Amino acid sequence: MEWKFTDEIPIYQQIMYLLKQEIASGELEAGQKLPSVRELALEAGVNPNTMQKALAELEREGLLYSQRTAGRFVADHQEIRDGLQEELMMEYVEGFLEKMKKLGYSIDEIIVLLQKFK
């Protein structure tokens, strides 16, 4: 995983977003064990407490689960993963539309442009 962070939003939220992308895309599969908090923090170059906060939030959202002595795993809830894919897709579309409107394109013009990519 490529860990790149900005100063725009808290790092733990950026970590959550990156992991959500990997879960939604299937790069992290249902039932897959994650490295330990310390290993992930070292890989990402962040404080272990920051990584722990991100993973705890993802667990709270139902995307991860813990087994007391075995570690953290990707949850196997297809409806949650489907919802995650839709959530991320909407963010991408909204960002794309916002940028296109700033360039002066109308929705109709954007639709015509998109149809060229079929």
Instruction: Give the model confidence (pLDDT) of 28-86 as tens digits.
Output: 988 999 999 999 999 999 999 999 999 999 999 989 999 988 999 999 877 777 777 78
Contact 44, 3 (CB under 8 A): yes
Residues 6+ away with beta carbon under 8 Å from 91: none
And the tokens for 32?
Answer: 């897959």
Give the model's pLDDT for residue 53.
Answer: 97
This prediction has a pTM of 0.71
